Structure 1
Amino acid sequence: MISRRNIRVKVMQALYSVESQETNEKPNDPFKLLQKHFDQTHQLFVYLIHYLTEVARYAEIDARNRAGKHLPSYEDLNVNIKLAGNELLWKILEYPSYQKAVKETRPELLENTDLLRKLYHQLVETDKYQQYIAVAGRDKKEEKAMLEFIFNELLLPNESFTSFVEENFTNWDDDADMLRLLVQNFLNKPSSFNFQELISKEKWLFGKGLLETVLNKKEVTMEHIKPKLKNWDPERIAVLDMILMRMGVCEFLYFETIPPKVTINEYIDLAKEYSTPQSGQFVNGILDNIHKDLVKDEKMHKVAFKPSSSN
C-alpha cells in the first residue's frame, strides 16, 4: 500500500540521519531508523481513521450534552444521531485489525476535544449533512459518501486540524498525499486492509535492500559520480544531493526490475522537493550522464546486491 516513492523518501531520510551524524556520537542503526519512519506512517494512518470515526461518533455526545441542559428545548431533546450509527463507521470500529492497531498505537492520547467539537458543529451546518440526516433509511453508497465527505471536505481543508496533525506527526508533509489515497482505499474496502502489514514484505525488502546497498556500495557509486562533477568539489555538494545520486546509481546497477528512466525521474522529483532549487537539474544531469556511460560501456547488466539476512 505504501508507494515506492514513499519508501525512497524514508530511505533517503535514514541515510541523511546517518550521514549528518557527528563522528563522536554513537552511530545510529540505519535499519532501526528506517523502521521508525515506517512506524510513524502506520501511526499516522491509524490516527486519521480514528479521528474520522470520532467526528462521526460525536453526534451521540452532542445529543447527550444538549439533552442534559437545564432547560432543554424540543430540538435539544430530538437531535438526529443517524451519523453515529453509520453502517460503514461501525464496520470500521468492529474490524479486528483496526481494533488491534488502535490498542497498539493509542490514538486517543492525542485527542483534542475542543477541535473535535468545532469540526462536528461545522459538519452539522453543511448541506451534505442536512441532506444525509433528512433520509430515514440507510444506503451503502450514501453511508460511504458521508464518511468520505467528512475526511476530504471537512478535515483535510481545515487548517486547525492539519496544523494539529503536523504538530504531532513530523511525517505529515511527507506522507499526506499517500495517506489521502490510503484512507480512500480503506473506505472503499475496509476489510481488505491489514493494519499490521501496512507495508508488504516485498516493499520492506525493497526499502531495506536499497538502504543496505547504498551503505555498502558507497565507494562503487562514488567512482561513477566523481568523474561527472567536473569543477564541483564533492565535499561542497549538498549532502542530500549526494545521497540521492548514490541511491540512483545503486538502482542503475543493482535493482533489475526498475527501469533507469523511472529511477532518474524519481530522484529528480525528490531533489526538487527536498533539496535546493537547483538540485533537480543538477541530479538529473549527473544521473543521466552516468546512465549514458553505463549503456555505452555495456555495463547496464544489473546484478542484484544481496543484502544480509539480518536486520
Structure 2
Amino acid sequence: MISRRNIRIKVMQSLYALDTNLESDLGFGIDRLTSDHPDYSRMIIKYVKVLDDKIDQASYLFTLSLYYMVRVAQYTEIDANNRASKLLRTQEDLNVSTKFAGNEFVWSLLDNKTFVEAVKDKKLEQVVEKDEIKQLYNILQESELYKSYVSEESRTPEGDKKMFWDVWTQLMYEHEVFNTLMTEKNEEWEDDKELVYMLIENYVQKRKGTNFLNFISADKKQFAHDLLKTTIDKSGYLMELIHPRLKNWDAERVAHIDLILLKMGIAEFLYFPTVPTKVTINEYIEIAKTYSTPQSSQFINGVLDNILKSLEKENKVRKAVRP
C-alpha cells in the first residue's frame, strides 16, 4: 500500500532525527559516524527501529483518519434517529438526511475485512470518542458541500467519490478542529499529515483490493532498510560529492533536509541498480516541494543532475538493464 515515495519520506525523517541527535549527544553529525565508531552498530539498529516505528505510525494515522470519516458518516443515522424520537418533533427533525451514511466509499471501508481488522488491532474504537464525532458531524452538517450533496436525491459513484474526498480535504485535513484532535491523539501528526493526505488520495483513486493489514510489503521494507543503512554508511563520501557543488550556494543556508535528500538521491544513483536515475531525481524533487523550502526542488534538481553527469562520466553509475 505504501509507495516508495512514502518510504523515502520516512527514511528522510529517520535520518534527520539521527543527524539531530548525534549533534546534540556526541557533538558531530552523521557524516562523521563511521563504521569503526563504537556506537555505529548500536545507532544502525536503533534507527532501523526508528524507521519501522515511523512506518507503523503512518499506518496508524492513515487508518485512524479513515475511521473518523466512517464514524462521522455513521453519525448521520444516529442523529436522524435521535431527532425522529423527540417528543416535540419538527418537520426538519423528521427529514434528516442519512445519504452520507450510504456513501459508496464509506461502505467500501466497512466491507473491507482488513480495514475492520486493522481498526480492531489498533484499538481505534477506544481512541475515538463520541463527543469528537458529534463535533465533526456538526461541522459537516453546516457546510455548503454537505448541503449540496444531500440536496441531490440521486446517488452516483462520481458524486460519492467527490463527497468523500471533499469531506477529507476541506472538513478534516484542512480544518483546525480535526487537526487539533489528531495532534492530541499523536504528537507526530503535523509531521505525518502530508503523508496521510497522499495515502488517502491514493486510496480514493485505487481503493479496490486495499489491504490495511499489509501496509508495507517485504520488498519495500527491505528497500527502506537498505536506503537508510546505505545513506548512513556512505554519508561522509556522499557529502564529499555534494560539497564542491555548493560553491554557488551559501552552504550555511542550505536546508538540512536538502542535504539529506541529496545524500539519499546519490546513494540511489550508486548503490541501487534497479532504481532508474530519472525516477530518483523526480522523486526527490517532489519530496522537496512538500517538505523543504520553496527553492529546494530547483536546488535538488540542479545538484543531483550535476552529480549524476559527473558520476556517469566516471562510469560509476551501473543500472540493471530491463529485459
Same fold (TM over 0.5): yes
- The within-5 A match list for 1:291-306 is 291-302=308-319
Rounded to whole Å, the distance in 2 between the matches of 1:181 and 1:232 is 32
Say if 1:105 and 1:298 are closer, same or farther in 2 by CA, change over 3 A. Answer: same
Between the aligned partners of 1:139 and 1:80, the Cα distance in structure 2 is: 16
Q: 1:90 aligns with which of 87, 107, 113?
A: 107
* Matching residue of 1:309: none
Asked whether the equivalents of residues 12 and 244 of structure 1 are also in contact (C-alpha less than 8 Å), the reply is yes
C-alpha deviations, 1:233-270, integer Å up to 9, x for none? 99997654443332222111112233334434544554
Change (3 A) 1:253 1:154: same
TM-score (norm: length of structure 2): 0.74
The alpha-carbon deviation at position 283 of structure 1 amounts to: 5.0
Does residue 1:160 correspond to 2:163, yes or no?
no
Say which is worse superposed, 5-14 or 178-187, in terms of deviation: 178-187
Contact 1:11–1:207, Cα closer than 8 Å, also in 2 = yes
The DSSP-based 3-state class of the residue aligned with 1:20 is helix
Deviations 1:140-172 (A, max 9, x none): 555445434433443334332234334534554
Query: For 1:59, which of 76, 87, 92 is the aligned residue?
Result: 76
Report the more deviating stretch, 52-61 or 18-27. 18-27
Offset at 1:102? 0.1
Whether contact under 8 Å (1:41, 1:171) holds in the other structure is: no
Tell me if the contact between 2:276 and 2:319 (Cα under 8 Å) persists in the aligned partners: no
Equivalent residues, number: 303
1:222 Cα deviation after fit: 4.0
Aligned AA for 2:4?
A: R
1:44 aligns with: 61
The residue type paired with residue 9 of structure 1 is I
Q: CA deviation at 1:81?
A: 3.3
Residues 133, 284 of structure 1: CA spacing in aligned structure 2 closer, same or farther, 3 A cutoff?
Answer: closer
Which of 198, 202, 213 does residue 219 from structure 2 map onto?
A: 202
Q: Which residue does 1:106 correspond to in 2?
A: 123
Q: Give 1:88 shift.
A: 4.7
Q: How does 1:114-129 map to 2 (within 5 A)?
A: 114-125=131-142, 129=146
Aligned: 1:23 with 2:26:
yes
Distance in 1 (alpha carbons) for counterparts of 2:133 and 2:291? 33
2:57 & 2:275 partners in 1: Cα distance?
A: 27
- The one-letter code of the counterpart of 2:13 is Q
Query: AA paired with 2:226?
Result: G
Question: Per the alignment, in what secondary structure is the counterpart of residue 11 of structure 1?
Answer: helix
1:2 is matched with 2
CA distance in 1, matches of 2:173, 2:185: 15
Cα drift, residue 194 of structure 1: 0.3
Residues 52-96 of structure 1: per-residue CA shift (max 9 Å, x gap): 111111112213432454534454355443443445533422321
Identical pairs, percent: 44
Where do 5+ consecutive residues of structure 2 fail to align? 28-38
1:178-197 mapped onto 2 (5 Å cutoff): 178-187=195-204, 190-197=207-214
Distance of 1:295 and 1:133 partners within structure 2: 59
How has the CA–CA distance of structure 1 residues 107 and 209 changed in structure 2, closer, same or farther, with 3 Å as cutoff?
A: same
Rounded Cα–Cα distance in structure 1 between residues aligned with 2:250 and 2:105: 58
- Determine the structure 2 residue equivalent to 1:11: 11
- Cα pair distance change 1:174/1:256, threshold 3 Å: farther
SS in 1 for 2:213: helix
Contact 1:269 1:280 in 2 (8 A): yes
Q: Given the superposition, is the C-alpha separation of residues 204 and 285 from structure 1 closer, same or farther in structure 2, using an over 3 Å criterion?
A: same
Q: Structure 2 vs 1, CA of residues 223 and 121 (structure 1 numbering), >3 Å: closer, same or farther? A: closer
C-alpha spacing 1:142/1:254, structure 2 compared with 1 (3 Å)? same
Query: Which aligned pairs between 1:126-275 and structure 2 lie closer than 5 A?
Result: 129=146, 133=150, 140-187=157-204, 190-226=207-243, 228=245, 239-268=256-285, 270=287, 274=291
Deviates more, 1:29-38 or 1:292-301: 292-301
Asked if structure 2 preserves the Cα contact closer than 8 Å seen for 1:253 and 1:300, the reply is: yes
- Separation of aligned partners in 1, 2:144 and 2:289: 40
Q: 2:318 aligns to what SS in structure 1?
A: coil
The one-letter amino acid paired with 2:20 is: S
Quick one: distance in 2 between partners of 1:13 and 1:236? 20
Distance 1:226 1:23, change over 3 A: same
Residues 109 and 23 (structure 1 numbering): CA distance in 2 closer, same or farther, change over 3 Å?
farther
Distance 1:111 1:102 in 2: 11
Between 1:31-40 and 1:78-87, the stretch displaced more is: 78-87
Deviation sequence 1:102-152 (CA, Å, 0-9, x none):
011223344254453243234334566456556777655554454344334
